[in-house]
Chain A
Amino acid sequence: DVKVTQSSRYLVKRTGEKVFLECVQDMDHENMFWYRQDPGLGLRLIYFSYDVKMKEKGDIPEGYSVSREKKERFSLILESASTNQTSMYLCASSPGTGGFSGANVLTFGAGSRLTVL
């Protein structure tokens, strides 16, 4: 089974703190993604990566950065947490881009619920 593991299920941080969310996948997937999920909204893409050391901005990158030093690991960093970053953060991976469906099927981690006070 493909597994995507997120390091923390629940975090509580204070405004201005630096926050690291880590994600590891064990199926040699090329692509990794960070989303946030808020009630009443669709998943919103923060950043994604198609290869080691590569990163691309998603729809809402402001206030976030990412790191992908190894193929299996994709970290999301909040340099200075703010209350409007309180959310559920979902990491996902997929085999690779391309024109066939399997390449684009996402496998998600269980999520990290972040509360910023």
Chain B
Amino acid sequence: GQNIDQPTEMTATEGAIVQINCTYQTSGFNGLFWYQQHAGEAPTFLSYNVLDGLEEKGRFSSFLSRSKGYSYLLLKELQMKDSASYLCAVMDSNYQLIWGAGTKLIIKP
């Protein structure tokens, strides 16, 4: 079957760095997405990786290793507004998205 695993919850301190991991087993691979979802709000797109390596976008970076079925989202200089759930999703060979259950990130002052 197809599966996406990510930690249920993580806690970090304001100003610090946090890495949220995502591992996947899917039928084929056509890219990996990260979305951010604040409580009670819509998920919003953060990043897309289809080739191995690191993609940097300001304070957020996303890394992919296709051979290991692994990605991480790296958040630097954490701010209180980064408290949210982070959703990992993989596009399979049929261009269908397989979603992880999300990682709830709690930022403490």
A residues sitting closer than 8 Å to B (CB atoms) are 4, 40-45, 90, 97, 99, 101, 104-111
Pairwise interchain contact A41-B101, C-beta atoms closer than 8 A? yes
> B4 — which chain A residues lie within 8 A by C-beta?
42
Q: Which of B45, B87, B100 has the most CB of A within 10 A?
A: B45
Pairwise interchain contact B33-A105, C-beta atoms closer than 8 A? yes
Besides the contacts A101-B50, A104-B31, what 17 more A-B pairs have beta carbons closer than 8 Å?
A: A4-B42, A40-B8, A40-B101, A42-B87, A42-B102, A43-B97, A90-B42, A90-B43, A97-B95, A104-B33, A104-B91, A104-B95, A106-B43, A106-B97, A108-B44, A109-B42, A111-B41
- Give Cα A48 to B94, complex, Å: 14
> B42 — which chain A residues lie within 8 A by C-beta?
4, 90, 108-111
B residues sitting closer than 8 Å to A (CB atoms) are 4, 8, 30-31, 33, 35, 40-45, 48, 50, 87, 89, 91, 95-102
Q: How far is the CB of A103 from chain B (nearest CB, A)?
A: 9
> B99 — which chain A residues lie within 8 A by C-beta?
42-44
Q: List 24 A-B contacts (CB under 8 A).
A: A40-B8, A40-B101, A42-B4, A42-B87, A42-B99, A42-B102, A43-B43, A43-B89, A43-B97, A45-B97, A90-B43, A97-B95, A101-B31, A101-B50, A104-B31, A104-B33, A104-B95, A106-B33, A106-B35, A106-B97, A108-B42, A108-B44, A110-B41, A111-B42
> A44 — which chain B residues lie within 8 A by C-beta?
99
Q: How far is the CB of A2 from chain B (nearest CB, A)?
A: 10
Q: Which residue of chain A has its CB nearest to the CB of B96? A: A45
> A45 — which chain B residues lie within 8 A by C-beta?
96-97
Q: Which residue of chain A has its CB nearest to the CB of B41? A: A110
Q: How far is the CB of A45 from chain B (nearest CB, A)?
A: 7
> A42 — which chain B residues lie within 8 A by C-beta?
4, 87, 89, 98-102
- Give Cα A105 to B32, complex, Å: 11
